[in-house]
Structure 1
């Protein structure tokens, strides 16, 4: 039997989402067409826009549909940078947390390499949290240079939840717009775009039981962005391209379901999370937990996130051994899977490189139950022992050479 514990990579589609997508795919209609089928498709899009806006605490006119989190992050970071620099050539500096998803990090690196941007990286504390005072310090180096601030709502690896409202308030003291990547947050945290005070927010479908290939950028109406694609002028002229009506409908169904079930699901998942953490620590082997891990805490750590550091073993070896035992998890972000280097998140948190190599991320979601936790805890000791033996054998072989 397989036990899926990798919801942070993608969450299996909710049954009602699969039904809605299949129904919509059977119906013809381009949402930009003027005939009856086109108008029907447009109606589905606009009704879905209202549902997604309500789920995220935004206005319908603030919802821009995209192909997913990566496109939304690129439109937010590049689109805002280009527009702010055009309005004021001094605005070439970005203030960004050092633990962002690569959809943000690589976008920033592109602007540095090709557009003359500068970046001030804000490092987290040892628990993976960004201090608003550190954001203030970074901005204060020269506020007139700063084009934007970008700090994720919750970290995709260690599950640390950031004080986004406080960070947004700091940036707004300097009249600097704020973007947050809420891709990981939306599944287990209440999102209130208007209440938290950010100007741009990224979300995606497949992390909440919706379809892959559809996402959202929330953008306040007074925020001006430079479009990255040109064509049909869809989505306020900011994201040209034929809208995927079926995927958008599926996203709306998922967003409504997640919002309705959030309080109960949060309680259910945090109980599973804490059981998994406690069992992992009790297993021995000097296993430690990354990020905040107070029992019952849903304020500082995602309710479905468990991140372990296992000493004297390679995380990939541990992953493969667990996979052979029917446990599906990861060593970090799936978007960087297979990259033979320690997590930039752990290194930014001050975890030594050697220790960071033994990382293991387990993430829970709507398909997770006690049996999955029990199966993992049963498989863990044998997997750790084999991975540690392989690690020590490899080091012995290197010394002999």
Structure 2
């Protein structure tokens, strides 16, 4: 694996760097200090629109759908050069990384040309409506219902609840996975739709998180009416469509894995323990060296996946491995920094806490990193079954009609 740029890649890197230097927001440092994405929506749309106008939005997408029509490696180079400014694109991450590719694969050409350019340019933001309170990590166990209207219109009526939906309170559209046939086995009775989040009967309720932010939501559907034209794929093929979304989710997450190690080095460079500068302590330096090795392993694993894509190959297990390793590593790294602070680690006020409380804020957020996009347990199963070839986990309800699966409080 060679990480050196080819002449063409080096030229694109220089082009990207020059454009970013000339167009980065003047108040970028101030914007990036804001950790709540909900407060960055307006600025993010401006930045995305500017990139789109210059041809740097969704670089791998075809130009007819608002993309740059470039090679996958160009997108990786762009992300490297954009650096911290990628945070301004975070509100579009789910839409452009997961929803967009699903629409591109399953929607009609008319829908693609109508919806995708608005997503690429930042005019619209999308969310992913999969998880439910009763389903946990088993997406196929969802209970949100989609039933055809009895008036013969062919429309669908949606009732149910989703949870942990990132950005639902500011999103314009969402991918919705719902159950259309409760008599079929759980993976075969699902259908995928896309839905206008401003539709009558949809209510998004932000969830107050431990870090004080409200990035996630509960979303309620009460007699929401959808035209059949907003269905993606055949009726009953929702699981197959969702696999497209989930594959792109792993690719998107793997491509933007950020461990926070450079920020940790910067924190330790300025932090004073009771015994003096943190980096003057040999034990701290030894721990930092071990962190550097793990960070390099995670970064190069991600680059290996990007290198495979650039050669036109299907992505392997690298993204699942990288995400699993990165979540645990970041949590351990932050706990180490918090322990170094001693009693000051209990402070959360940025005006009083060391490092403006950045360690405390990240530590409250990082558990979500180990859940979103596949829990640690799910990723271990994927790696065990699909990479190591270990026996499949027993699934006794796989072929059982969904409405006959016993649940707590109903049928034993």
Greater RCO structure (CA 8 Å; 6+ sep): 1
| Same topology, TM > 0.5 | no
Q: TM-score, normalised by structure 2?
A: 0.24
